[in-house]
Structure 1
Amino acid sequence: MLKRAIPAITIIASCIFAYAAEPIDESELAGRADRPNIVIILVDDMGFSDFGSYGGEIPTPNIDALANDGVRFTQFYNTARCSSTRASLLTGLYPHQAGMGHLPSLRLPESRGTRGRLLERSVTIPELLREEGYFTAITGKWHLSLLEYSTPWERGFDRSMTSELGGIFFKGQPPRRQQENDSRRTLYVDGKVFPTTDEIFGEDEWYSTDLWTRWGIRYIDEARAAGKPFFLYLSHHAPHFPLMAPQEDISRFRGQYMTGWEPLREKRYRRQLEMGLFEEKTSALTPLLPDTFEWDELSDEQKDRFDHMMAIYAAMISRIDLSVGDLVRHLEETGDLDNTIILIMSDNGANAESGPAGRTDGELPLGGRKSNVFTGMNWAALQNTPYRYFKHFTAEGGIATPMILHWPDGIAEDMRGAFYKEPGHVIDVMATSLDAADAAYPAAFNGIERLPTEGVSLLPALVGDTLDRGQPLFWEHEGNRAVRDGRWKAVSRLTMGWELYDIENDRTEMNDLAGQYPDRLQTMVNQWEAWAERTYVDPWPQDVPHTDWGGLRVLHGN
């Protein structure tokens, strides 16, 4: 059994080096000792409705407690994919502006925005907050390249314990494919590489969700010892494939999904309506895609297989919640919770990449370190209730994420537990962090001109005020495009035409109004094209291999 207690972590100083920050004039920071700490918790490939506070049946009491004492955003957005969201979150830029128009593995030398790393025209939150006297740390998934000037230890983090990509869940876990080499076998501590079996991570077995949190807590204690406010970016691997969790956790969820995705999806939707997250007249439950399996036509063996997949996924979500509980308790014990801003969100919508059948291969037990499990399209529809489509797409199912903003010292009493219905975006995390730190965004950093930030501060949400956003929000990923301008959203899949939705009255994108409002649509298409030119979005090259997503591109026109 994996131990969840938080042990002391001993680190041999000679094994680690930290990226040296520029000297800080402490006199300039006088009178600002009460600046809040900032913790960003990012989960990977999680659907919109998986937290209990967003309608899910998976128990997430610690996260729900933060939601009930904070603000829940009902219209918060990511960029539809892992690396692009991480780039936007850390830089306050759209992905292509930062250089991360796709994944680090796709580097197009002639492209302006698909360069596979964080470019020098961007500056990161930790780079700026460190200049303001913050202690900056990251644990977990990086996925923004280890090329020059694109590593955690070069981009402002005082301390880091990270993976290059993701998918590491257990000590000594082998790679899924031979070509992955050592990316699933190694972790980086302040830039120095260690095998996952190294004693620096503890002699006992570990599960990475717990490991990231333990090291995050250690870094918080280092910040306290230094007398500094802290910025902690806790970037989980879970619940990204390959789905893995401790077997004792999985067993608690076995059998709970034997009724199938359709009735469970209906139950999630009804909970969302009851809690006031949606209204039925403006947010209808989208139909399942036509190639979804009929549960009643499956054999008992097939039903058990699908139940097992979702049980592993649920165990991963539950374990994230337990780790959040560990972190919050530590902040309570140190007296830091009230003056710590916590943001919790997902990097993209639920993952349907393995298609309707899902995937259960590798070695038994399923969910163990040698297995390879994906929940597939049917369960992804449950995870994304009530939306259509998934990760990769710019429909709401690909880009809408739960987002909880918690700051006891900064919230108005009448906003505790409230839903906040203005759109927010991961590009806003930069402006929010600087607003909290009473810091300004620079035109240049370290002698290099930087692009201006695209986002706005989210802190007005804590007192029920409107956000200071004067521009639409935009998306592009793999040729999938979208614009959100007030109540209107225009969306287009790679080889298909533009659709238009009145999100105020049709949040789930059921009624395409492109034919009724051609002038409105054309205005938004023009806005998108001007944005794409300004932010280095090149036309998506048709000869670049796409992930097949289990046939979803063929079935659904992308």
Structure 2
Amino acid sequence: MRRPTGLSLAFLLLIGTQFLSGTVLSATESSGDPPNIVVILADDLGWNAVGYHNAKFKTPHIDSIVRDGVELDRFYVAPMCSPTRAGLMTGRYPIRYGLARAVIPPYRDFGLPTDETTLPEALETLGYQHRGIFGKWHLGHRRSKWHPLMRGFSHFHGHYNGAIDYFDLTREGERDWQLDFSPSEEQGYATGLIATAAASWIREVAEADTPFFCYIPFNAPHSPFQAPEDAIKAFESLKVPAHRKEPTRRQIYAGMIWEMDKGIGQVLEAIKDSGEETNTIVLFCSDNGGVGNIRENNDPLRGSKLTVYEGGIRVPAAIKWPKRLPAGQKLKQVCGYIDVMPTLLSAAINLKQPKTNHPLDGIDLLAGLTKPTEAEQRTEFDRPWFSYHGQSGEGSEHLAVIDDGWKLKVNGPRFVNIKQLTGDVHKVELFRLADDPTESRNLVSKHPRIRDRLGKQLAEYRSLQPSESVLPYAVGKDGFVAPSKWQLDSKQPNLRIGTSPFDSRLDGRE
């Protein structure tokens, strides 16, 4: 039966009830030992900036995940950093809890709400004692209640903010490099530090007789565009014009991706050395599309980061789990960031069920991947998919919904109802993605009924945003002075690392 196409209460309850009732057990209840889980997240990596899409970029280790696992060909994310990370951590559309409009900039006193159950919190209840994060957090850095160690992780090595300097590890003139709750004086190139720390941790915790969860959100290849000299020189062929003395942004970008890929190789080697490769899930994706000022970054997709065209929200992604998933598959159905949590929890369940504070929007991808035919997969994944951002405020927002092969895209002031689809204020586009994946033909004038059907879904989705939401990006920037070493507003001196995040003694602390 086809899932409802709107975000009605019945639809929301259906998704949450299916997951919380334990129906996902059918895919994994006889799988034996729960798997180790490694999630690798690139930052601003374009669709066309990976080797398996474009040989000009060298990503042999990312390519190996595709080769040894399942390519997620239509994997969607939010069009910018923080919302994708929030949806990945919660399995829910971040618009529900006010984290869809914009990223969390350095001067923002906002974070992932503490009543949202995170992936590491749920995994802890399933016996995952070791839950490490290595890299960029970007889900709240002003107060301790938003710190990774207060949101389910047992170890943190990385930085709170995005867009740090790769060499001196600063943001807004202050070092942002952290080890658990304390600033770290570690020196080096950020990408290499992240990879080395994650690989070392995997080797260490793999010796324990419990599964582990390792989340590796690289800052690369997000700006500032910085790479070691040898990495830049390796891509001289990308310099245009060839006689130019200084390296081009595209050349440096390729070098940054190469450095990240080498780091991913370190992580994959650590998994192999641990003897746990067969029963370790490795999921790789980007947090949004690539930036628009680098040639061929998202080709042939239209648009880039900060748009809801395909180039901003459809990203390279793959998952491998040798024990369960045959190598060399390609999933062509729509899936994405909100599906990560329910999929990984499904894999982790061993006759137990995690509890979450809210119903999930995402679905268990494993259930679809185990279907024997593409037709059955299509039924498993059949649901509308929503995208949104409004960095500059409600005067100019970007929304899109994909359903049944169609995509409606609306730009303009806050979208309330379908009456706005026929005015002159909003830019309205309708694409038949099934036939036009590059969004080159706007069919809105030819299909008013489809426009209105999708428009109703989009208006209902937009109405989910609560009044307490992250502010537009520029608000609060003037006069901001970064705290020394990005120290939090308050500490947790009595925090026992690894304590259950559901322990009432931790509730409400800041």
Same fold, TM-score > 0.5, yes or no:
yes
CA deviation string 1:42-87 (max 9, x = no partner): 0111101111112341111111122111111221111000101100
Partner of 1:125: 119
Deviations 1:334-360 (A, max 9, x none): 1111111111111111113xxxxxxxx
SS of residue paired to 1:501: strand
**Per the alignment, do residues 105 and 314 of structure 1 end up closer, same or farther by CA in structure 2, a change over 3 Å counting?**
closer
Question: What is residue 166 of structure 1 aligned with on the other side?
Answer: 162
Deviation of 1:98 after TM superposition, in Å, equals 3.5
- Partner residue of 1:149 out of 145, 150, 160: 145
Task: Name 1:340's counterpart in structure 2.
Answer: 280
Between the aligned partners of 1:155 and 1:89, the Cα distance in structure 2 is 13
- For the residue of structure 1 that corresponds to 2:85, the secondary structure is helix
1:453 to 332, 357, 360: 360
Aligned pair partner of 2:304 in 377, 384, 390? 390
Cα deviation, residue 534, structure 1: 3.3
RMSD value over aligned CA atoms?
Answer: 2.8
Q: Contact 1:393–1:493 at 8 Å: present in 2 too? A: no
Q: Aligned residue for 1:507?
A: 437
What is the TM-score with the length of structure 1 in the denominator? 0.70
Whichever residue aligns with residue 164 of structure 1, its letter is Y
Give the conservation status (yes or no) of the 8 Å contact 1:159–1:219.
no
Task: Pick closer, same or farther for the CA change 1:138–1:538 going to 2, 3 Å.
Answer: closer
Does the CA contact (< 8 Å) of 2:96 and 2:466 recur in 1?
yes
TM-score normalized with structure 2 length? 0.77
For 2:71 and 2:467, the matched residues in 1 are separated by 31
Written as runs of structure 1 = structure 2, the 5 A alignment for 1:480-491 is: 480-491=398-409
Structure 2: any 5+ residue segments left out of the alignment? 1-28, 391-396, 414-425, 478-510
**Structure 1: runs of 5+ lacking an equivalent:** 1-29, 109-114, 261-299, 353-376, 444-449, 548-558
Give the equivalent residue in structure 2 for 1:350.
290
- Secondary structure of 1:172's match? coil
Rounded to whole Å, the distance in 2 between the matches of 1:125 and 1:168 is 25
8 Å contact from structure 2 (residues 131, 214) kept in 1:
yes
C-alpha separation between the residues in 1 aligned to 2:63 and 2:73?
Answer: 15
> Does the alignment pair 1:434 with 2:374?
no
Greater relative contact order (Cα < 8 A, sep 6+): 2
Assess if the C-alpha contact under 8 Å between 1:487 and 1:502 holds in 2.
Answer: yes
Distance 1:424 1:161, change over 3 A: same
Q: Do the aligned residues in 1 keep the contact of 2:206 with 2:274 (CA within 8 Å)? A: no
Contact 1:97/1:122 (8 A) holds in 2? no
The change in CA–CA distance for 1:77 and 1:32 in structure 2 (over 3 A counts) is: closer
1:121-520 mapped onto 2 (5 Å cutoff): 121-134=115-128, 135-146=130-141, 147-168=143-164, 170-173=166-169, 175=171, 180-182=172-174, 185-194=175-184, 198=185, 201=186, 206-258=188-240, 301=244, 305=246, 308-352=248-292, 377=293, 379=294, 381-412=295-326, 416-438=327-349, 440-443=353-356, 450-460=357-367, 462-463=369-370, 466=377, 468-469=380-381, 471-478=383-390, 479-494=397-412, 496-520=426-450
1:259 Cα offset (Å): 6.4
Tell me the number of residue pairs that the alignment of Structure 1 and Structure 2 aligns.
421
| Matched letter for residue 40 of structure 2 | I
Q: Pick one of 440, 460, 465 that aligns with 1:530.
A: 460
How far 1:544 moved relative to its partner?
6.1
